[in-house]
């Protein structure tokens, strides 16, 4: 009775061939799926195979009068707990951004008051096109979840961003989105559980100058923090991201401030207070040269022998211990290579934060490409009262799940207010 239902809209791209596998993965997450094919999608995947994996009728054409009589397009979207669009082609994304409704897929999307998530898939040039990016920004602003696309080889022979995320990841992200959605038939505004909350996120490394050309840094890419900032914004939070130097674009619907050093990061964070929550995902350099030299240090025999290091301020501990403006929820990250849980628990106590998100950054963590800089992550969430261990998933999926966990926390504290 309680099984949540997904209306899967399959767009007309080569990635549509993965739709039956996606239905299987949704089933593995305990979700029931009803499929709706656009006219172009029928060229890539057979309705019959979708009917057999989903165990349900497959919907195809707006003007099928029998269906309209039996099950109108409004009912089709009302019957689902969420709509998942995968693959979301550039054309479907453009229609959604414009609010067009000229076929069954776009009509169902316009008629819904349930959460919607899209998994884009297209050629890299189409993905990068200003029109597509403009449309995506609009969808993000409308509160639509976006998973992927991933980078890789494409059917068209090019390489780049545009591959649809793997079905297992999409299914996990859909499950996470549903986990934070309100009970059936509650209004759409309730799908923004963090509306009215101001959340500070730090991300990326810091650069600590040695001289005008050299600096101390680390391998943090910023991906996890950026994904989290975007996921929190998608849940309605007013997100302020303070980022060290990264190669990433500013996340959507987030106020981003770029800094270089730990001290600048601390200043930018304190300038942001008060906030409801502070999520410190940055890999702040622990040490900095006591004095940055104004001229480039020459490569002499004594080299950097004179390089003296001093400790950087601990931003997390500073916010946790803030006398007048401590955020209600302070979350730290811990990158460990061994004995993760013990170190994380010790860090929780020492930094006086509320949760630690711990991950294994050792080379043998089993995650392709490693955690630092890679696309996947496996985390434990520790608080003084519980430890959660989540399976390996993409950083986007970790972000969606963590954002939902934060929304649950605020929903629970609100009940006690
Ligand atoms: O002590 P360690 O660097 O392992 O702690 C990691 C956590 O502390 C992360 O949340 C990181 O953002 C935060 N941190 C900080 N300022 C520092 C060092 C770490 O905010 N100077």
- Give the C-alpha separation, 169 to 25, whole Å: 9
What angle, rounded to 10 degrees, do the helices at 130-141 and 223-234 form? 60
Closest-CA residue, ligand 1 atom 4, reads 334
Residue 188 has pLDDT above 50, yes or no: no
DSSP letter for each residue of 98-162: HT--SSHHHHHHHH--S-EEEEE---HHHHHSHHHHHHHHHHHHTT-EE--PEEEE-TTS-EEEE
Provide the mean pLDDT of the chain.
89
Q: Is the distance from the beta carbon of residue 253 to the nearest atom of ligand 1 less than 6 Å?
A: no
**Ligand 1 pocket check for 333: Cβ under 6 Å:** yes
Q: 250 C-alpha vs ligand 1 centroid, how far in Å?
A: 22
* CATH class of residue range 5-186: alpha beta
Ligand 1 atom nearest to 333, measured from its CA: 10
- Cβ of 332 closer than 6 Å to ligand 1, yes or no, is yes
- For residue 2, the model assigns a pLDDT of 67
pTM of the model: 0.60
DSSP one-letter string for 233-270: HHTT-EEEEEE-S-SSPPPTT-EEEE--SHHHHHHHHH
How long is the chain?
Answer: 417
186 has pLDDT over 60: no
Quote the ligand 1 centre to 151 CA distance (angstroms): 30
The pair of three-digit structure tokens given for residue 295, joined into one six-digit string: 């001229």
Sequential DSSP letters for 190-205: GG-TTTT-EEEEEESB
Decide if 174 contacts 252 (C-beta within 8 A). Answer: no
- From 1, 65, 2, 73, select the one nearest 34 (Cα to Cα): 73
What residues have CB less than 8 Å from 149, skipping those under 6 apart? 119, 120, 121, 122, 127, 161, 162, 163, 164, 165
> According to the model, what pLDDT value does residue 190 have?
42
Q: Higher confidence at residue 408 or residue 356?
A: 356
d(C-alpha 401, C-alpha 378), whole Å: 12
Is residue 344 within 8 A of residue 356, CB to CB? The reply is yes
Q: Please tell me the number of Cα atoms within 13 Å of 66 on its side-chain side.
A: 3
Q: In the chain, where does the domain assigned CATH 3.40.50.1950 lie?
A: 5-186
> Which of 224, 332, 358 has the most ligand 1 atoms within 8 A of CB, as the residue to mutate?
332
As to burial, measured by CB atoms within 10 angstroms (0-12 exposed, 13-18 middle, 19+ buried), residue 99 is exposed
Report CA(176)–ligand 1 centroid distance (Å).
27
Ligand 1 binding pocket includes 282 (Cβ within 6 Å): yes
Is the CB–ligand 1 distance for residue 315 below 6 Å?
yes
Sign (positive/negative) of CA torsion 291, 248, 402, 340?
negative
User: What is the percentage of the chain residues whose pLDDT exceeds 70?
Assistant: 90
Nearest to 11 by CA among 92, 94, 119: 92
Ligand 1 centroid to Cα of residue 146, in Å, is 29
pLDDT tens digits for range 147-184: 989 887 777 777 878 999 999 999 999 998 998 765 44
Q: What is the pLDDT of residue 251?
A: 92
From ligand 1's centre to the CA of 56, what distance in Å?
A: 50
Ligand 1 centroid from CA 350, angstroms: 11
3-class DSSP assignment, residue 215: strand
CATH class of 198-416: alpha beta
Q: Rounded to the nearest whole angstrom, what is the distance from the C-alpha of residue 99 to the centroid of ligand 1?
A: 44
The residue whose CB lies within 8 Å of the most ligand 1 atoms, and thus the one to mutate among 259, 261, 282, is 282
Q: Is the separation of the CB atoms in 119 and 170 below 8 Å?
A: yes
Helix or strand (DSSP H, E) at 171: helix 167-179
Which of ligand 1's atoms lies nearest the C-alpha of 281? 12
Is the pLDDT score of 47 beyond 70? yes
Q: In DSSP terms, which residues pair with 59 in a beta bridge?
A: 36
CA-closest residue to ligand 1 atom 2: 334
Q: Coil, strand or helix: which one is 309?
A: strand
Q: Known catalytic residues?
A: 156
CA separation (Å) from 168 to 18, 145, 173?
Answer: 11, 16, 9
What tokens does 90 get? 């550039």
For the Cβ of 262 lying below 6 angstroms from any atom of ligand 1, the answer is yes
Q: Where in the chain is the domain with CATH 3.40.50.10300?
A: 198-416
CA 211/CA 294 separation, integer angstroms: 6
* pLDDT, tens digit (0-9, with 9 covering 90-100), for 258-279: 999 999 999 999 999 999 999 9
CB atoms within 10 A of CB 230: 24
Looking at the predicted structure, is the pLDDT value of residue 199 above 80?
yes
Question: With 0-12 CB in 10 A as exposed, 13-18 as middle and 19+ as buried, what is 179?
Answer: middle
Give the lowest-confidence range in 4-18, 226-240, 291-305, 320-334: 291-305
Cβ neighbour number for residue 196 with a 10 Å cutoff: 11
By most ligand atoms within 8 Å of CB, the mutation choice from 316, 318, 340 for ligand 1 is 316
Percent helix, strand, coil in the chain, to 5, is 35, 25, 40
The predicted pLDDT at position 296 comes to 87
Contact call for residues 395 and 377 (beta carbons, < 8 A): yes
Q: Give the ligand 1 atom nearest the CA of 318.
A: 20
333-374 per-position pLDDT tens digit: 998 888 888 999 999 999 999 999 998 877 555 655 566 667
């Amino acid at each position: 009775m309680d099984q949540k239902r997904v209306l899967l809209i399959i767009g007309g791209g080569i990635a549509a061939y993965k739709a039956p596998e996606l239905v299987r993965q949704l089933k593995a997450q305990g979700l029931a799926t009803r499929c709706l094919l656009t006219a172009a999608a029928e060229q890539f995947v057979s309705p019959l195979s979708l009917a057999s994996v989903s165990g349900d009728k497959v919907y195809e054409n707006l003007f099928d009068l029998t269906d309209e009589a039996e099950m109108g397009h409004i009912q089709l979207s009302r019957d689902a707990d969420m709509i998942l669009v995968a693959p979301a082609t550039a054309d479907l994304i453009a229609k959604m951004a414009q609010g067009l409704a000229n076929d069954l897929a776009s009509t169902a999307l316009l008629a819904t008051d349930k959460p919607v998530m899209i998994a884009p898939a297209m050629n890299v040039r189409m993905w990068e096109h200003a029109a597509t990016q403009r449309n995506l920004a609009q969808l993000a602003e409308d509160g639509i979840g976006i998973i992927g696309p991933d980078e890789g080889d494409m059917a068209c022979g090019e390489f780049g961003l545009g591959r649809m995320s793997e079905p297992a990841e999409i299914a996990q992200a859909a499950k996470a989105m549903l986990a934070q959605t309100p009970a059936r038939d509650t209004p759409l505004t309730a799908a923004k559980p963090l509306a009215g909350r101001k959340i500070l996120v730090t991300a990326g490394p810091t650069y600590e100058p040695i001289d005008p050309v050299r600096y101390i840094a680390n391998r943090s890419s910023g991906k996890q923090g950026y994904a989290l900032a975007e996921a929190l914004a998608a849940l309605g939070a007013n997100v302020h991201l303070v980022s060290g130097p990264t190669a990433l674009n500013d996340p959507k619907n987030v106020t981003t401030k770029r800094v270089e050093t730990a001290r600048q990061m601390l200043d930018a964070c304190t300038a942001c207070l008060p906030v409801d929550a502070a999520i410190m995902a940055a890999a702040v350099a622990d040490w900095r040269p006591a004095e940055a030299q104004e001229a480039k240090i020459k490569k002499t025999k004594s080299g950097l022998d004179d390089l003296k290091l001093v400790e950087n301020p601990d931003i997390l501990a500073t916010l946790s211990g803030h006398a007048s403006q401590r955020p209600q929820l302070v979350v730290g990250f811990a990158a460990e290579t061994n004995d993760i849980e013990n170190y994380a628990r010790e860090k929780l106590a020492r930094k006086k934060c509320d949760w630690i998100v711990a991950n294994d950054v050792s080379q043998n963590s089993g995650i392709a490409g490693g955690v630092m800089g890679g696309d996947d992550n496996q985390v434990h969430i520790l608080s003084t009262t519980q430890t959660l261990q989540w399976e390996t998933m993409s950083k986007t999926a970790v972000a969606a799940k963590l954002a939902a966990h934060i929304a649950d926390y605020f929903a629970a504290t609100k009940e006690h207010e």
